[in-house]
């Protein structure tokens, strides 16, 4: 199968098509997350969760009770409610920033997805060699730096929402959110530096691209096929904790902490403006879990030491059609989404297991524990990688 026909199409057409596909995957995924959140929280607490809603004219269909019990209709009803209920703007707010904040929250949530590779497929070049091509929207060398640069813009929407509401609870929520986000950004960036030291070690490529990170995890050999979660467990741990803080998930949901700040920065919001914050949070979660899987869990590789390429070669012995680029792309994306799905479940699992931190504990954890740990971790790996290259260049 050849994709060259596709690449002959005009640029704007491919842009719109690929962009639409990603949005059509991302939005239902975010919606499914919100449903999964309610169901998983219900199961963890030993209650059934939303299971009653059903449009009366559908009730006669046999077997529809399964969908009803899963709460799918509840999800649709919620979506309808957010769009069509009255959307009051409180009298004392700064109207412009009040409306701008939820719109701003969508920008980092949607833009970061264009830097995430989802999978890869083989193309055969003119000289007969096989060449792995990533499935991603914006192929830049910047990769991770671009993700960090865009996603850290998310703090503006939180602080704008908090400030523009002109109410005490949102204000405190907004200020806390911004202090928390900037604190954990440091540990987050420092914790992934060892990964790029390793990727760019002599013989590497000199890149920040997430695709190349996955490529270096799919080499043959013991070290080459090793996922970085085994090679750099401390980095993975610090990154994961910082990811929880950056996405405002429990136990770090200081900006919202409903027991002391009612609803935090979105107390004054309702209807569709509120649901924009909600969608943005889930989109951040999805992209964040995706980045974690790419950096530390081998991206679309099915198992440690088994790369997607060798898996496909193995499977093609049984089913030859698997080797076609289309199948390979779909299989890679499936493995990747499975890992992301597990992490989203993990986010929810932690939310209903750990109690919330107090605010001073959050700041202490960020500045006095994670930051020194990640600096020590960086020094250790910088020295270790240099020593390895000097003494064991063939390892």
Residues numbered 9-38 forming contacts with another protein, rule: CB under 8 A = 11, 14-16, 18-19, 23
70 exposed, middle or buried (CB, 10 Å; 0-12, 13-18, 19+)? middle
| Min separation Cβ 230 and another protein, Å | 20
Applying CB under 8 A, the span of 32-40, 68-76, 206-214, 320-328 interacting with another protein comes to 206-214
| CA atoms of 78 and 80, how far apart (whole Å) | 5
Q: What proportions of the chain, in percent to the nearest 5, are helix, strand and coil? A: 65, 5, 30
**Residue 14 or 52 with smaller CB distance to another protein:** 14
Scan residues 339-378 and list those touching another protein (CB under 8 A).
Answer: 359-360, 363-364, 367-368, 371-372, 375, 378
- Residues 232, 197, 335, 35, CA torsion sign: positive
CB contact set of 207 (below 8 Å; sequence gap of 6+) = 141, 143, 199, 200
Query: Residue 303 CB: number of other CB atoms within 10 A?
Result: 11
Applying CB under 8 A, the span of 30-38, 43-51, 332-340, 384-392 interacting with another protein comes to 384-392
**Residue 22 or 315 with smaller CB distance to another protein:** 22
45 forms part of the interface with another protein (CB under 8 A): no
**Residue 219 or 364 with smaller CB distance to another protein:** 364
CB contact set of 23 (below 8 Å; sequence gap of 6+) = 110
- How many of the chain's residues bind another protein (CB under 8 A)? 86
Applying CB under 8 A, the span of 30-38, 67-75, 167-175, 217-225 interacting with another protein comes to 167-175
**Residue 79 or 304 with smaller CB distance to another protein:** 79
| Min separation Cβ 168 and another protein, Å | 5
| Min separation Cβ 76 and another protein, Å | 15
Scan residues 278-317 and list those touching another protein (CB under 8 A).
Answer: none
| Min separation Cβ 99 and another protein, Å | 8
| Min separation Cβ 336 and another protein, Å | 18
**Residue 88 or 220 with smaller CB distance to another protein:** 88
**CA count, 13 A, side-chain hemisphere, 303:** 5
Query: Residue 187 CB: number of other CB atoms within 10 A?
Result: 26
Scan residues 67-86 and list those touching another protein (CB under 8 A).
Answer: 83-84, 86
| Min separation Cβ 67 and another protein, Å | 25
Question: Mask 116-155, x = binds another protein (CB under 8 A)?
Answer: ---------------------xxxx----xx---x-----
- Which alpha helices (H) appear in 85-232, and where do they start and end? 95-111, 144-151, 154-164, 168-199, 210-216, 228-231
Q: What's the DSSP call for residue 355?
A: P
| CA atoms of 295 and 144, how far apart (whole Å) | 10
Give the SS3 label for residue 208: coil
- The residue assigned the tokens 């420092």 is 190
DSSP result, 215-273? HHTS-SSTTTT--HHHH-HHHHHHHHHHHHHHTT-TTS-TTT-HHHHTTGGGTT--HHH
| Min separation Cβ 138 and another protein, Å | 4
Applying CB under 8 A, the span of 47-55, 60-68, 180-188, 309-317 interacting with another protein comes to 180-188
Scan residues 227-286 and list those touching another protein (CB under 8 A).
Answer: 262, 267-268, 271-273, 276
**Residue 226 or 363 with smaller CB distance to another protein:** 363
| CA atoms of 25 and 20, how far apart (whole Å) | 9
Is residue 4 reached through a cis peptide bond, with omega within 30 degrees of 0 on the bond before it?
no
| Min separation Cβ 90 and another protein, Å | 5
**Residue 90 or 304 with smaller CB distance to another protein:** 90
**Residue 40 or 159 with smaller CB distance to another protein:** 159
């Amino acid at each position: 199968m050849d994709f060259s026909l596709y690449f002959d199409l005009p640029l704007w057409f491919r842009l719109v098509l690929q962009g639409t596909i990603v949005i059509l995957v991302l939005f239902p995924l975010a919606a499914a997350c919100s449903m999964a959140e309610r169901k998983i929280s219900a199961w963890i607490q030993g209650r059934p969760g939303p299971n009653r809603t059903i449009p009366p004219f559908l009730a006669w269909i046999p077997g529809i009770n399964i969908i009803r019990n899963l709460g799918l209709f509840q999800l649709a009803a919620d979506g309808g409610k957010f769009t069509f209920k009255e959307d009051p703007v409180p009298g004392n707010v700064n109207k412009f920033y009040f409306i701008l904040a939820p719109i701003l929250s969508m920008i980092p949530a949607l833009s970061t997805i264009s830097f995430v590779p989802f999978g890869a497929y083989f193309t055969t070049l003119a000289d007969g060699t096989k060449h792995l091509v990533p499935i991603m929207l914006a192929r830049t060398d910047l990769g991770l730096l671009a993700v960090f640069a865009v996603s850290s813009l998310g703090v503006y929407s939180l602080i704008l929402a908090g400030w523009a509401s002109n109410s005490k609870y949102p204000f405190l929520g907004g200020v806390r959110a911004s202090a928390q986000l900037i604190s954990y950004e440091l540990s987050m960036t420092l914790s992934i530096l060892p990964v790029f030291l390793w990727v760019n070690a002599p013989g590497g490529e000199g890149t920040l691209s997430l695709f190349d990170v996955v490529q270096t995890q799919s080499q043959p050999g013991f070290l080459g096929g090793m996922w970085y979660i085994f090679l750099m467990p401390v980095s993975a741990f610090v990154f994961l904790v910082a990811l929880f803080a950056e996405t405002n998930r429990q136990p770090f949901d200081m900006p919202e902490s409903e027991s002391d700040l009612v609803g935090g920065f979105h107390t004054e919001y309702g209807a569709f403006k509120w649901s924009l914050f909600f969608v943005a949070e889930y989109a951040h979660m999805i992209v964040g879990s995706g980045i974690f899987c790419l950096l530390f869990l081998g991206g679309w590789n099915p198992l440690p030491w088994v790369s997607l390429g060798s898996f496909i070669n193995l499977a093609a012995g049984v089913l030859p059609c698997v080797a076609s680029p289309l199948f390979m792309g779909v299989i890679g994306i499936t493995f990747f989404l499975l890992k992301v799905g597990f992490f989203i479940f993990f986010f929810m699992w932690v939310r209903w297991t750990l109690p919330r931190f107090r605010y001073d504990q959050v700041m202490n954890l960020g500045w006095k524990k994670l930051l020194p740990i990640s600096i020590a971790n960086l020094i250790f790996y910088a020295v270790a990688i240099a020593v390895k290259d000097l003494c064991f260049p063939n390892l």
